[in-house]
Structure 1
Amino acid sequence: MLRTLLTRFILAAGLIAWTASAAPTPNAPELPSPEERLNRLARLWGQVKYRHPSLAYKPIDWDAALITALPRVEAAKDRAAYAAAVQDMLETLNDPATRILRPDERQDSAPADPARTREPRRWEAKDVLVINMGVRQPTAPLREELTRAKAVILDLRARGLDPRASEAMRQTLGEVLPLLLTQELQVPGPRAVYHSGYRPQTISSSGGFATSFLTSTGERISPQAPGKALPLLFLLDDQSSVDARVLTMKAQGLAQIITEGRLDDGSSVERTRVDLGAGLTAVVRLSELGVPLRADAVLPKRSRSGKDEALLKALELARKPARGKAPKVREADLPPGRWQADEAYANMPYPDRPYRLLALFRMWNIIEFFYPYKHLMDQDWDQALTTFLPRFSKAKDAAEYALAVAEMSTLLKDGHTTLHGHPELEKRGIAGVLAPFEAMELEGKAVVTRVWDEAAAPGIAPGQVIETYEGKPLAERMNALKSYVTASTPAHLRHRLLARALSGAEGSQATVGVRDAAGARKQVRFTRSMRSLQKPPTGDAWRLLGNGVGYVDLTRLQPADVATLFEKMKSTKALVFDMRGYPHGTAWAIAPYLNARKAPYGAVIERNIVSSEELGGRYKYYQPLPQANVTPYKGRTVMLIDERTISQAEYTGLFFEAANNTTFIGTPSAGADGDVTNMVLPGGIALLFSGDDVRHVDGRQLQRVGLKPQVFVRPSLASVQKGQDEVLERALKYLVSKGVSAKVSGETPR
């Protein structure tokens, strides 16, 4: 408790000192506009939210900290008020290393002590060796001088030196330290939050997205001291980068620390800076060490011509060897991570303005950090924060708020992007349950292609053209959705718009006007229900088409039936895999049968990694093709595809392509692949999006391109109305051209 109060006192004292120095001056940077301040606050909030280690295990309400800070940041009339509002938000973390930098912390032009900058080593009080750590130290002469020393002072002060001096000091310390040790030193490594993609908030995902701690193993330093243990003292200042080796020696009673100017443990960990405008900069902790920074003496920052009081204090302490205690157990200082999903505030369909801004900040940062296809967006995501700030801020009701979220989501250009959970979205079809039948755009018309549940849509049949929705042209409803529905390709966007135009809330009904092949029109009322969409499809998953060609409907085939399928089809000359829809995870079971050439991999996957690395990173791995002791299928294979081929269906295509170069026939697939994750936003909105960047095994782009057919064919309206499958027929013609006698016997499989 005492330590907590002391920390708060130091923070408050630092803020008072800052605000006192923040009085307007003729050359003071201009205070940004309220909108620009919110923009910068959003970025700072996100850096803390997804990179500060405390948020991964401490019960800190970071949402509430933002909600409290927002009105103060906007209302600030000067730099001091702006700084105070932001600093108060950061104090929620109770972390002195995460704060607004004080003016005195900026590197100034004051020269360092000339003796310290020129000489690698010098003697003080005849028998105290002072080592200038900013200069490389030849080992042989240093070893000899250490035999004559009664104490050693290592000068790590960096004020007035080149900013790169700290790294040089680290290297020099690594060379010098073994010569000072008479016992082995085990130095702990820092730990940082490690996000492997974005962990989903409310859904399960096969992607293995996870948040954890990444802990460095540290290092073990063997002793090489030429004689007995000597009193060791480290001189630091407020520009020093405090090394973990220094802190460990202090914690184990092997050295003392004297600091010149303010220094906190932020100097010993990784941090990032966020520009807040108005000459303000915030620093955010990115890692933690578990070894505290506790100085034996803290002296004021030295003036340009003043005495070197820090050195004098070091000389005094050199005569008083440290009597330190053993450090605490590391695990007691650094508790394990604790996962906590974001609050969705589902009881706020129309959130108050601060919560609407929280939604904007959260959504923008999640995509900024974690969306793997950000480089494929048509518009600059950085600009989206500025563009949508007034939209979220000024939304006058629940509908405007929900629609602002939906419109912002369309910037992702991702066929996986789907919204759930808000009544205003369901009312418009942007979210909700699909119709109990499937429709496709053919020749510019909405055509029924399948009926999932005849009882829920009596009178609907394949081949009918849907002309109206609730008495108005269907095209009007589709056009009204264009600003709120996204997809990866233009063809898939039209498909999704059509599906969403027919969507609505669970249990709701709607009436469509349809026209059949004979031109007869009628009104049909249907009921939306998840039960209708979950009804198992009727018909066999495979059949022989004649002349040694097998047909496999991958939207019906189950993994348990794959072995039986290939046993039945082992004598066929070719297989037609129909992937115009969504599979049941059969790619992993089928691939070994097709992989006669023993291809090792089926796809390349890249994932955003968010941790303490300043530039972030991508994790790239090759998806192995499953192996099994089965008899390879030796016939040709083709796959039927179109815009309904999405996600796992496209992944199936990648596996087959890698295994035996399966030929794709039809039209391009949806171009939306990668395991899905989701975020939640105030108002109970859940937003799904692609969490991985999936590519062909040779690295070619799949997202926003799709699987490209080697044989292009699009069904006509007339063929659908006649019950024909032009895509399948074209596949059989292709097989004939390759020497396989193929024809359809009986009715079209679908």
Structure 2
Amino acid sequence: MIKKATTILIILFISCSPKSDLPDNSQKIENLKTFSKIYGYIKYFHPSDEAFGLDWDKFSIYAANKVLKCETNEAFVNTIYSLFSPIAPSIRFSNSNGDTLVIKNSNNSDVIGEQFWFHQGVGYGMSIQNGPFYSKRIIATPENDSISFRPRYGETTIVSLNENRYLAIPLVVNVNESGTIPKSSKKSIENLRNKLNNYKIDKSSISFRLGNIINTYNVFQHFFPYFDVLNLDWENELESALIRSFKDSSLKDHLITLRKFTSPLKDGHIFITSKSVKEEVYAPPFFWEWLDDKLVISDVWEDDLNLKKGDEIIKINGVDSKEFFEEINSMISAGTLGRLRHKSEEISLLGESGSKFTIETVNQTIEVTRNQEPYSHAKSLNPYTKIEEGIHYLNLSLMDMETFNYLLPQLEKSTGLIFDLRGYPYNNGEIIKHLMKVGDTTKDWMYIPKIVYPDQQKPKSYLTASWKGFFEPALPYLGDKKVAVITNGKAISYAESLMGFVKGYKLATIVGQPTAGTNGNFNTFNLPGEIEISWTGMKVVKHDGSQLYGIGILPDVYVQKTVKGIREGRDEFLEKAIEIVR
């Protein structure tokens, strides 16, 4: 969890002799951690014109390369000065953490206001520009100063560079008609920009990997909306990612490190890819699931494959199944166990078309081939089934509104309805309206933070919202039937918004397992190497105001698959739902 309220970050340097539990490059790691903090403070919270116009992606890599070359504390301080003074001319260095770091009011008579950064979520450096998230530099004047919680002139973030050297970074700068003041010398800023323009990024270099880690760290450090409920030492995760980056040797290795880095955030929206790394998604003709702490074959699509439902898999490519999945799980960010297992069970099977791997059951070793196109087995599922007279089953992951509207006359005459939301709804959220007797009266349950201070350390405001006006009762009313909704960890994001209405208004009996525990609009940023990272940019709670993140919508009736049920080809979730609506 991000530690609360202090504006001074003490980052002491260790001596040149590394500690026994740290690698030989331990001082370089400490330098990089300190640089990382300064990078984030100036990028997102120091509002100078020079910083605003910088290519921060390339700068992170260029600067990491410079920091790596520092052999002494003095060299590191000089490097920090040379890197940041051209883009943040009002930063101050001092030998003491005292009055010498105070930023005093300018005597310039041409000052028209004070400029600071305002972030709603965050938009600066993000690739999604038309959503609810944005960033802008705001000029506060005596006539127009409406953000009461903004920083005031003279407020700084102070970083300890070593035992007796400090750096003060202003959060507010003065502005005149020509821009922010003070200004860097034209020579110094042009010199830095020319160096960046001429700097060629080497995707195989350590500085490339370190720069991307530093960039990623700062996005989440300052803007991830769930640190207040997540018990996580994010700075410790930064250190682990930096250390791992020294060992990586390829872009694929780098992707793995980024995934391991963000996995502890437990954000099911985190998805990290690179167009430069081809990751095939072909699968073998079977599926497996973890049941009763065992990896079990749950479906088979080729008759000549010497496997049957219920077979336990002991090893994969000679590795114990649990150990095999531990590595996969370490690269997946998921809020609930159900979501984690869904993703790991799926990812563990994927690879290049025609590639082979071995699996071991209790009595045989089988070589299997990945020859199935992605999700091809899902095409055989039925969006609608009449279970028996009066009871109807609707798969919301497959059913479109046209089909639903066609079925409405039959559904109106039914006695029991089963909606299956073990997945993502197929543009059919309006179906929920037919279960509502009254209009939506819930309080706001979506929160986008308004951020003006670094590290999320000071109180912040929120832009809040709900779906009032969108979900009004629709005819015919179907809520007078016995209704069950089946769900599990596959239900994420918009699916959980719908499940929130089902739970909040008690529209049905919820059967199954907790949902994914991840909801809210996602945000996206790009990194050098054609890397894209998506993540949850806003906070969402349940309709009663309680925590959804990492918990999910909980079922009223829990159901657990069993090996016996798998062997018999039964859907135990559906069976329980039928029992409830009869």
Query: Residue 96 of structure 1: which of 86, 89, 92 is its match?
Result: 89
C-alpha distance in structure 2 between counterparts of 1:463 and 1:57, whole Å: 60
Aligned residues: 528
C-alpha distance in structure 1 between counterparts of 2:357 and 2:95, whole Å: 67
Residue 244 of structure 2 is matched in structure 1 by 391
Contact 1:414 1:690 in 2 (8 A): yes
Give the deviation of 1:365 after TM superposition. 0.8
Which deviates more, 367-376 or 415-424? 415-424
1:527 aligns with 2:371: yes
1:615 aligns with 2:458: yes
1:127-526 to 2 correspondence within 5 Å? 190=114, 192-199=116-123, 208-213=131-136, 215=138, 218-220=141-143, 271-277=156-162, 278-286=164-172, 289-291=175-177, 350=204, 352-395=205-248, 401-421=254-274, 426=279, 438-449=287-298, 459=305, 463=309, 465=311, 467=313, 469-470=316-317, 474-505=321-352, 507=353, 509-511=355-357, 513=359, 524-526=368-370
Residue 154 of structure 1 is matched in structure 2 by none
Residue 579 of structure 1 is matched in structure 2 by 421
Residue 482 of structure 2 is matched in structure 1 by 636
C-alpha distance in structure 1 between counterparts of 2:325 and 2:140, whole Å: 56
1:51 aligns with 2:45: yes
Residue 436 of structure 2 is matched in structure 1 by 595
Give the deviation of 1:702 after TM superposition. 1.6
Q: 1:200 to 1:670 in 2, by over 3 A?
A: farther
Aligned AA for 1:210? F
Aligned AA for 2:437? A
Q: 1:649 to 1:510 in 2, by over 3 A?
A: farther
Contact 1:542 1:552 in 2 (8 A): yes
Aligned AA for 1:715? K
Give the deviation of 1:358 after TM superposition. 0.8
Aligned AA for 2:44? Y
Residue 398 of structure 2 is matched in structure 1 by 556
Aligned AA for 1:571? K
Give the deviation of 1:73 after TM superposition. 4.3
C-alpha distance in structure 2 between counterparts of 1:196 and 1:565, whole Å: 43
Residue 708 of structure 1 is matched in structure 2 by 554
Contact 1:270 1:612 in 2 (8 A): no
SS in 2 for 1:391: helix
SS in 1 for 2:532: strand
Q: 1:461 to 1:284 in 2, by over 3 A?
A: farther
SS in 2 for 1:601: coil
Q: Cα deviation per residue 1:710-737 (whole Å; 9 max; x = unaligned)?
A: 11121222223323222222122223xx
Q: 1:539 to 1:82 in 2, by over 3 A?
A: closer
1:646-685 to 2 correspondence within 5 Å? 646-685=492-531
SS in 2 for 1:36: helix
Q: 1:378 to 1:291 in 2, by over 3 A?
A: same
Q: 1:729 to 1:697 in 2, by over 3 A?
A: same
Contact 2:419 2:484 in 1 (8 A): yes
1:5-16 to 2 correspondence within 5 Å? none
Contact 1:201 1:679 in 2 (8 A): yes
Query: Residue 540 of structure 2: which of 678, 694, 699 is its match?
Result: 694
Query: Residue 570 of structure 2: which of 715, 724, 728 is its match?
Result: 724
Q: 1:96 to 1:522 in 2, by over 3 A?
A: closer
Give the deviation of 1:189 after TM superposition. 5.8
Residue 387 of structure 2 is matched in structure 1 by 545
Q: 1:67 to 1:733 in 2, by over 3 A?
A: closer
C-alpha distance in structure 2 between counterparts of 1:30 and 1:622, whole Å: 43
SS in 1 for 2:570: coil
Contact 2:318 2:358 in 1 (8 A): yes
Q: Cα deviation per residue 1:445-500 (whole Å; 9 max; x = unaligned)?
A: 4345467xx69x98599835363545766445324434333422334333333222
C-alpha distance in structure 2 between counterparts of 1:723 and 1:464, whole Å: 9
C-alpha distance in structure 1 between counterparts of 2:474 and 2:56, whole Å: 54
Q: 1:670 to 1:69 in 2, by over 3 A?
A: closer
Contact 2:450 2:463 in 1 (8 A): no
TM-score of the two chains, using structure 1 as the length reference = 0.60
Q: Which has the larger radius of gyration?
A: 1
Counting aligned pairs with the same residue, the percent is: 21
C-alpha distance in structure 1 between counterparts of 2:211 and 2:70, whole Å: 19
Q: 1:494 to 1:100 in 2, by over 3 A?
A: same
Larger relative contact order, structure 1 or 2 (CA cutoff 8 Å, min sep 6): 2
C-alpha distance in structure 1 between counterparts of 2:114 and 2:513, whole Å: 52
Residue 176 of structure 1 is matched in structure 2 by none
SS in 2 for 1:651: helix
Structure 1 gap segments, 5+ residues each: 1-28, 110-157, 167-186, 222-242, 244-265, 296-342, 736-741, 743-750
Contact 1:65 1:92 in 2 (8 A): no
Contact 1:419 1:688 in 2 (8 A): yes
Q: 1:469 to 1:642 in 2, by over 3 A?
A: same
Aligned AA for 1:600? T
Q: 1:579 to 1:37 in 2, by over 3 A?
A: same
Give the deviation of 1:596 after TM superposition. 0.8
C-alpha distance in structure 1 between counterparts of 2:387 and 2:319, whole Å: 43
C-alpha distance in structure 2 between counterparts of 1:692 and 1:460, whole Å: 48
C-alpha distance in structure 2 between counterparts of 1:31 and 1:704, whole Å: 36
C-alpha distance in structure 2 between counterparts of 1:101 and 1:696, whole Å: 47
Structure 2 gap segments, 5+ residues each: 1-10, 16-26, 106-110, 146-150, 182-196
Give the deviation of 1:543 after TM superposition. 3.2
C-alpha distance in structure 1 between counterparts of 2:359 and 2:365, whole Å: 7
Contact 1:582 1:648 in 2 (8 A): yes
State the superposition RMSD in angstroms: 4.5
Give the deviation of 1:698 after TM superposition. 0.9
C-alpha distance in structure 2 between counterparts of 1:30 and 1:711, whole Å: 53
Give the deviation of 1:280 after TM superposition. 1.7
Aligned AA for 1:550? H
SS in 1 for 2:379: coil
Contact 1:364 1:385 in 2 (8 A): yes
Contact 1:56 1:193 in 2 (8 A): no
Aligned AA for 1:409? T
TM-score of the two chains, using structure 2 as the length reference = 0.75
C-alpha distance in structure 2 between counterparts of 1:692 and 1:436, whole Å: 39
C-alpha distance in structure 2 between counterparts of 1:554 and 1:462, whole Å: 29
C-alpha distance in structure 1 between counterparts of 2:171 and 2:286, whole Å: 53
Contact 1:510 1:527 in 2 (8 A): no
Q: Cα deviation per residue 1:403-455 (whole Å; 9 max; x = unaligned)?
A: 433322222123333332288894xxxx856667643222334345467xx69
Q: Cα deviation per residue 1:574-632 (whole Å; 9 max; x = unaligned)?
A: 32111112222322x12322221323238712234333587373525242152356223
Q: 1:486 to 1:628 in 2, by over 3 A?
A: closer
Q: 1:520 to 1:535 in 2, by over 3 A?
A: closer
